[in-house]
Each structure stands twice: as structure tokens, then as C-alpha cells.
Chain A
Amino acid sequence: MERLRLATIWLGGCSGCHMSFLDLDEWLIELAQLADIVYSPLIDVKTFPANVDVTLVEGAVANEDHFHFIQVVRANSRVLVGFGDCAVTGNVTAMRNSLGSALPVLQRGYLELADVHKQIPNDTSVVPRLLDRVLPVHQVVPVDFFLPGCPPPAPRIRAVLENIVQGKPPHLEGRDLKFG
């Protein structure tokens, strides 16, 4: 059987979903027999490769980098999985949306609460500009499967990946669909 080309990315999230992925513990060894991780924040690859079978997307689309990167990822992934609540619903990352724009958050973080060097970063070559509205991934590019949870518990991740490596569409039901 051909080895699965698996990628994981994180956008506007806390990396908790990736920590939960690492909680797969010894099953990761089994996964490593079946799949190559071709791109991930956990490995040292700089550019997103072509011909990826499955990409797990953690995090919401919160800045301009995310917005452009997710299109590249979508174009090069056969299956895109919304990985965790931030990707699926916007979750905590999108809480700032009710303030209307990114500015109140930047003001709070970089001006009101700063002790020294009060300044909102404006060099976009270093820090990408925040979008005024944080979006769940499926509002930017089509998403094939949704894996909710904050973070999704490891057995839930495993259930989805097991189906994918066997070439079956993942199917979650009951408490496995619980947000939060």
C-alpha cells in the first residue's frame, strides 16, 4: 500500500490540538508505519509540498498570512480536515469579532497593557496584519471533514485518521461531535 502523505498546519490557534495529536502516544508509531508527515509545525520543512493526501488544519483564519497560506494548502491537499474548534467554529480566536475590528485588541495588548515601548507593530514583513474578522476555515476554503473539540481528544483524532488511512470517509457521531 502506498504511504499516506499527511500534513498538519496551525493557523490562529493555541497549538493545543497538536498537543492532543502528540497524545496519540504509541499509536503514533503505528501511524508512522502507514504515513509520512510531509509538512507540520512539528517537523523541519519550510514550504508546503504538492500532492498531500490529508492535511489537518488547526486554528482559525486570523491574519493575512493565514488567509493566503490556507489557499496554498487547499490547492495542494486532497482532503482538508478542520482540526479542533478554532478551525471549525472560530472558537476563542474569533471572540474578538464582537469588538468590530482588530484595532481594539491591538490597542489593549500593545498600548494599554504595555509597560514599555508602547507601539502597535506595523512592519508586516515581520508580523502579519490581523484580519478585522476571524473566520472559521470553511468560510475561506472548502473543508472536507470536521473534527471538533477544544482540543479534540486523542481517541477522536485516532478514529478520524484510522478511517482516512483505510481510505474510508471519517464519520463522527454522538459525543464525538461535542464542541468545547
Chain B
Amino acid sequence: MSVVTLTINGQLVSARAGDTILTAAREAGIDIPTLCYVDGLSAHGGCRICLVEIAGSPRLQPACFMKVGEGMEVQTDTERLRGYRRTIVELLFAEGNHICSVCVANGACELQDMAITVGMDHDRFDYIHPNRQVDLSHDRFGIDHNRCILCTRCIRACDELEGAHTWDMAGRGSHSKVITDLNEPWGESQTCTSCGKCFMACPTGAIFQKGDTVAETDHPRAKLEFLVNAREKKQWNV
């Protein structure tokens, strides 16, 4: 296994060749904010929250995708990046219907936390207030498309961990929408095993456990981590 050396925020870091900048940074104790990335699932590179600057390149790169390179000089927390991150979060809030005060995930939501991280005290964009639906046809879970940020974490968890591939993305641009099977009600899905992995993976109040009301949902992320560890490292520690 070859090792590469790079600097992240001026700090000398060594990493395995083939690692992403995100992995290298986190192993060196430098956090880069992420939304669509989940340890143990394939990277998606959709949310752009993890963008970093690389010396000599005019383009920003997503740390969850970009591989480390010998001698690379990476910056993860500049004024410019902070500005972009805040803009991204503001766009996410403006695009959906995020009414935290009446949301199942209030207090346990990665989008809400990200707004705090980027210091969003208000949204500079006009709220679109799209007319989106809620599907409560499944016995145990519900999906509220108003809260969905299209991160595809549910799609990847269901496909890569459960092997069911119940979820997929339909539509384009702001009309995109996660669907179950061939856009049928979730409760009528022939593929869903009701395992709950999509619920564990969802960062927001979009996928929730039925019966949970305002501020009651807490996606059991630790369970997902356990499953990933068990699969990848054959560790079954509870």
C-alpha cells in the first residue's frame, strides 16, 4: 500500500493512495462538513457541502470524491468555502418546506445542524414553497417529501446495505423526487423488506417512523454504523 503526503490547512498529513481527501482529513482529526456522504455507502457527491480548495486548481472539489495526491495543498475552511457552504444550505431550505418547529426531526436533524454550523441566521433566497406530498402508506414508516433534500442516502442504504433497491430518483432539477419501486405507494412496494435502513440513513425529517410526532424522530445512525462495520470489518461489537 503506497502512502502519499499532502497538507490540509497547512498541516502535514499522510494518507493511503486512493483515499479521498475527506477520509484523509478525518483520520488526521480535521473535520470537513458533509451532508450526502455516509461512511460505508458509496459517495454521491451531490450536496457540495464538502467542497475544498486545492492549490493550483481554480475549481473547487468535493472532498468525499476527490482522491489525495502527492504534495497536494488542500484548504477546507476558507472565507470563500464558508460562503459557498452557507449559500448551499440556504438554497436547500428555500427549495423544500422546512418548518423545523413542527418537524418530526426537530433537534435531531443534520440539515438543521448544518444551518447552525454555517451560521445561517436567515435565508437570503426566496422560499419556493413547493407543493409536495406525504406518503403514509407503509406500515412502519412515512416519507414527507417536504423535508427531503435529495441526498440519495436512502437510495444507497437500501441498495447497498439491504440489497432491495426499493428507492430511486425520479424527475429532474427541482422536480426531482425519491420514489419507491416504480413510483408506487411505499406501502404497496413488492421489494421493501421493512428493514428501516433508509430511515436510519436519512439526515432529515423526510423518512420517519410512524407514530413519531414533532421532535420525536431520532434516526438510529449508530445502528447503520454497526451494520457497516459488521459488513466491512467483520466486527460485530455491540
Using a CB–CB cutoff of 8 Å, the interface residues on chain A facing chain B are: 82, 85, 88-92, 94-95, 97-100, 133, 136, 138-139, 143, 145-146, 148, 150, 172-175, 177-180
Q: Is the CB of B103 within 8 A of A88?
A: no
- Once the chains are docked, how many angstroms separate the CA of A175 from the CA of B119? 10
Contact A89 B122 (CB under 8 A): yes
Contact: A95 with B97, CB < 8 Å?
yes
A139 cross-chain contacts in B, Cβ below 8 A: 126
Tell me which of B50-58, B127-135, B149-157, B229-237 binds A: B127-135
Contact of B131 with A180 in the complex, beta carbons under 8 Å? no
Q: Which of A99, A136, A177, A180 contacts B120 (CB 8 A)?
A: A177
The answer to whether residues A97 and B129 also contact, given A85-B101, A92-B101, A180-B106 and a CB cut-off of 8 A, is yes
Interface check B166, CB cutoff 8 A: no
CB distance from B124 to the nearest CB of A (A): 8
Is the Cβ of B126 less than 8 Å from the Cβ of A98? no
A98 & B131 in contact (Cβ 8 Å cutoff):
yes
Bound-state CA distance A94–B127 (Å) is: 10
Name the distance in Å between A131's Cβ and chain B's nearest Cβ: 13
Query: Chain B interface: which size bin?
Result: 20 to 34
**Would you call B99 an interface residue if the criterion is a C-beta within 8 Å of the partner chain's C-beta atoms?**
yes
- Rounded to whole Å, the gap between the CB of B132 and the closest CB of chain A is 7
Residues of chain B within 8 A of A133, CB atoms compared: 129
Contact B119 A177 (CB under 8 A): yes
- Say if the beta carbon of B121 comes within 8 Å of chain A: yes
Residues of A within 8 A of B162 (CB): none
Known: A178-B112, A179-B101, A180-B112. A173 touches B132 (CB 8 A): no
Whether A85 contacts B116 by the Cβ 8 Å rule is no
Question: In the bound complex, what is the Cα–Cα distance between A27 and B8 (angstroms)?
Answer: 47
- Having A95-B97, A143-B122, one finds 6 other A-B pairs with CB under 8 Å, namely A133-B129, A138-B122, A150-B101, A172-B121, A178-B112, A179-B100
> Nearest chain A CB to B77's CB is how many angstroms away?
16
